[in-house]
Amino acid sequence: MTNWLELALISNDVYDWRPKAPIRFYYGSGDRDSPPADTRFTAAHMERSGGIVSAVDVGDRDHNCVVFAAIPRVRQWFDSLSAARPQVSP
């Protein structure tokens, strides 16, 4: 029989859907708290479901330091998405 914790974990799975917007997952190959293989699996699964998804390795960083390498890359990606969008006049 499934216990309450397993049921809660199952109900909180977030990888089994097709995203409508592009998604990038940033991860560190040195992360021991959030395994890089999980990130790559999730990205590949969402991509197979038809989403535009990628996983970006920011290097041998642990869980707490990934953000420092990821934030500039996230900003650069968002800027590139903004530049590609047509501007709408008011």
- Model pLDDT, residue 84: 74
| Contact between 25 and 41 (Cβ < 8 Å) | no
Confidence band for 88, pLDDT divided at 50, 70 and 90:
low
- Give the mean pLDDT of the chain: 89
Whether 12 has a pLDDT exceeding 90, the answer reads: no
